[in-house]
């Protein structure tokens, strides 16, 4: 598994410059546009919390999910269909668990980078008020894996990239909009509220918001963690099954 992770890290060492600027610019633009721009019109904040302080935890969780999806979609499909990287690795003395696990570890590395950069930008904007904010790092890794694992299984099950565009339009975009990132889900109709509760991102947003605001999550927080772990476990099992079907002859 570590050898597969090393392969992805060596490749990233050659290409990191292409993503470094966007990794820094996107948090800046997002916080300026939504947190400062829109926040200027949200008088009184949300639940007594300034809008910028309230929205940043959701943006961090959403960024973690976007980073996870960036590695769990087109790269996975291309490694099966076009580049055949997975098949080359399977020809070496590597198990399916090594091939899948090494790439998932690299996904977690990318999520970690994106989260840390966003957190540093948040510090510069003065919206981090407690050391408890550091908990958003493991929370982001958890919600990122909860989304990445089933997405890897999906990407390993398709043969054309049009299905990835469908995933982005009908699953990822609604999840980003209706998971409490930009506004409380209490303002949604009851049906959409249930949809938000079922999606992993909302649970990550709620945990991140408690951490950033220094609030005790209590039993609801434990429920969030267990629910995200269930997504991780089920997604990992599905991904391993799809990889095994494709790589084991």
Query: Token pair 């975009």 is at which residue?
Result: 173
Alpha-helix residue ranges (DSSP H) falling in 38-95: 51-72, 74-81, 85-91
How many CA atoms lie less than 13 Å away from 227 in the CB half-sphere?
A: 16
Residues 218-236: tens digit of each pLDDT? 888 999 999 999 999 999 9
Residues in the chain: 249
Q: What is the mean pLDDT of the chain?
A: 90
This prediction has a pTM of 0.93
Q: How many Å apart are CA 220 and CA 210, to the nearest integer?
A: 11
Residues 5-53: tens digit of each pLDDT? 999 999 888 887 777 777 778 888 887 887 777 767 777 778 888 888 8
Per the structure, the complete domain to which residue 122 belongs is given by 2-247
Q: How many Å apart are CA 11 and CA 115, to the nearest integer?
A: 21
Q: How many Å apart are CA 53 and CA 59, to the nearest integer?
A: 11
Q: Which two tokens stand for residue 32?
A: 């300026």
Q: How many Å apart are CA 117 and CA 180, to the nearest integer?
A: 22
Q: How many independent structural domains does the chain possess? A: 1
Q: Tell me the CA end-to-end span of the chain in Å, nearest whole number.
A: 20
Q: Contact, 101 vs 1, CB < 8 A?
A: yes
């Amino acid at each position: 598994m570590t050898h597969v992770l090393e392969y992805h890290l060596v490749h990233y060492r050659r290409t990191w410059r292409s993503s470094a600027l966007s990794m820094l610019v996107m948090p800046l633009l997002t916080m300026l546009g939504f947190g400062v721009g829109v926040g200027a019109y949200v008088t009184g904040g949300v639940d007594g919390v300034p809008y910028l302080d309230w929205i940043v935890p959701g943006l961090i969780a959403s960024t973690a999910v976007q980073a996870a999806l960036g590695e769990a979609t087109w790269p996975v499909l291309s490694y099966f269909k076009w580049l055949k990287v997975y098949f080359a690795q399977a020809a070496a003395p590597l198990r399916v668990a090594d091939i899948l696990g090494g790439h998932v570890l690299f996904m977690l590395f990318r999520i970690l980078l994106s989260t840390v950069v966003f957190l540093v930008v948040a510090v510069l904007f003065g919206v981090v008020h407690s050391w408890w904010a550091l908990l958003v790092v493991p929370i982001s890794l958890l919600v990122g894996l909860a989304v990445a694992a089933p997405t890897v299984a999906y990407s390993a099950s398709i043969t054309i990239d049009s299905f990835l565009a469908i995933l982005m339009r009908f699953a990822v975009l609604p999840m980003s909009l209706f998971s409490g990132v930009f506004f409380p889900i209490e303002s949604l109709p009851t049906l959409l509220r249930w949809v938000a509760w079922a999606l992993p991102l909302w649970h990550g947003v709620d945990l991140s918001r408690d951490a950033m605001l220094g609030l005790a999550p209590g039993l609801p927080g434990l429920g969030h963690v267990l629910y995200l772990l269930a997504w991780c476990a089920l997604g990992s099992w599905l991904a391993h099954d799809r990889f095994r079907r494709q790589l084991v002859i």
